[in-house]
Structure 1
Amino acid sequence: MSTITYQKLCKNHLHDEVLDKFNRYQKVSRCWRKQNDEWVLIDHPYIEDWDLEKKRNIVSELVNCVNNNGVVYGAIIDNTLIGFSCISADFFGKNNEYLELLMMQVSTEYRNKGIGKQLFKLIADSARQLGAKKIYISASAHSSEESQAFYRAVGSVDAVEINQVIARNEPFDCQMEYVL
């Protein structure tokens, strides 16, 4: 594998085609769901696969994050973006101590190589520098078993304080936090 470069991305990096080669494919078999106030794994097979339109929408969201003083980090091999993480700069919570992890993705063929962990570390360092005490994570992919395993492996736990707006928008996602 070629050398991976990690860098903070600015608007110049986030041109429309930056994700054209990104492979957001995930075959999910099981997801976490809350039943009787407990999280249980259920069979819920589906495939997550971004088309070009979805990739362009994601680029727009990343640009919007940067425009609003958020932080985006990228993992790059041979001038190709193979992973990214994005955190908002909008504080929330009763003590105004949370920042939201908006996105965290690694191209399928590069998963399980430590790239996601490094991107998470970089975004956590940025959140700390911005003054956050916690990162809020609405664990994505409808709380797939794999996504949950990743966030738990990096030290995330169930959120102490639930952001009701986020939870309503993502009703199947596990609401988690990472203490900085």
Structure 2
Amino acid sequence: MMIYKELKITDLVPELLNDFDRHEKIYRAWRLRDDGSEYLKDIYYEENWDNNELLCICNELKSTFEKGGSVFAAFDESKLVGFASLENEFFGSKKQYIQLSNLHITNSHRHKGIGKTLFNMCIDKARELKASKVYISASSCENAQTFYRCMGCILTKEVNKKLYNLEPFDYHMEYIL
């Protein structure tokens, strides 16, 4: 049985991510041409998190809490199978954005609606916080882009330069609340 909940900082122990499998083979990714048009590029790479990366992610989630943000999780029984985080810092020319900083589903549980549920939990929280838009720096890989576009996300109208510099190949998107 799937259980969804908002986590507390005390839930964020390194062991929480022990069995989390981020492995994914990427075969195509979206790219932008100079004229602004998009195209799918054949590309191959693998995403995978080692123990050091898992520890960094856990610390990143703790930092989200320390700054007043929220972390949501999906559990299959007691095993973590997905998580999402929403920051609490507003930015943009009108302070209209709040960032969805993480949304990950373990390999064995993808394509089961877990990402959609976690995304919607973040959207509900963003509405509670009176944000106008949710900002997402999303992987340009075909699967991630298919997901976010199906959720109603579009390319952002206002790029956050700090986030862009961290991930220049990401697609910087927004979800209008």
Q: TM-score range with shorter-chain normalisation?
A: over 0.9
Partner of residue 167, structure 2: 170
- 2:55 aligns to what SS in structure 1? helix
Q: Pick the aligned partner of 2:156 from 152, 159, 162.
A: 159
Cα deviation, 1:127-164, whole Å, max 9, x if unaligned, reads: 11111110001112xx1010000000111011111111
CA shift, 1:120, in A, is: 0.2
Query: Mean Cα displacement is larger for which, 29-38 or 13-22?
Result: 29-38
CA shift, 1:57, in A, is: 0.8
Partner of residue 73, structure 2: 74
CA shift, 1:56, in A, is: 1.0
* Inter-partner Cα distance in structure 1 for 2:104 and 2:142: 15
- Check conservation: 1:17, 1:56, Cα contact below 8 A: no
Partner of residue 29, structure 1: 27
Query: Mean Cα displacement is larger for which, 36-45 or 170-179?
Result: 36-45
Q: Taking structure 1 as the reference length, what is the TM-score of the superposition?
A: 0.95
- 1:167 aligns to what SS in structure 2? helix
* Inter-partner Cα distance in structure 2 for 1:80 and 1:61: 20
Q: Taking structure 2 as the reference length, what is the TM-score of the superposition?
A: 0.97
User: Can you give the 5+ residue segments of structure 1 that lack an aligned partner in the other structure?
Assistant: none
- 2:144 aligns to what SS in structure 1? helix
Aligned pairs, how many?
176
CA shift, 1:40, in A, is: 1.1
* Inter-partner Cα distance in structure 2 for 1:79 and 1:62: 19
User: Can you give the 5+ residue segments of structure 2 that lack an aligned partner in the other structure?
Assistant: none
Cα-Cα RMSD: 0.8
Identity %: 38
Partner of residue 123, structure 1: 122
